[in-house]
Amino acid sequence: MILTAILNLFYAFVSLIAGLFSSLSDVTLPAGVASAIATASGYYASLNAYLPLDTAITIVAFDVIFETAYFVYKMIRWAYQKVPMIN
C-alpha cells in the first residue's frame, strides 16, 4: 500500500512536469544553425570513412578515465604518506 502511494505520487509528479512541457510552444532552430548542423554532419561522414571517430572517441575516453584514476591513486598515496607514524 505504501509502495502504491509512492508510485502514484511519482506518476503525478511526472505527469505534472510533462504537462508543463507540453503546454510550451514548439521550439525551432534558426535556419543558420540547421545549415551548420547539416554541413558539420557532412564533414563528419566524410572523415568517418577514413578514421572511425566513434572508436577514436572511445579510446580517448578510456585514456582520460585511466589517467584520472591514476591521478586519484597518487593523491590518495600522497595523503596516506602525510599521516604521521604510517610508512
pTM of the model: 0.47
Phi, psi for 83 (deg, rounded to 5) = -75, 125
Task: Name the residue among 63, 42, 68 with its Cα closest to residue 55.
Answer: 63
CA 74 – CA 66 distance, rounded (Å): 12
Over residues 25-82, the pLDDT tens digits come to: 777 778 898 899 999 988 888 888 888 888 889 999 999 999 999 999 999 999 988 8
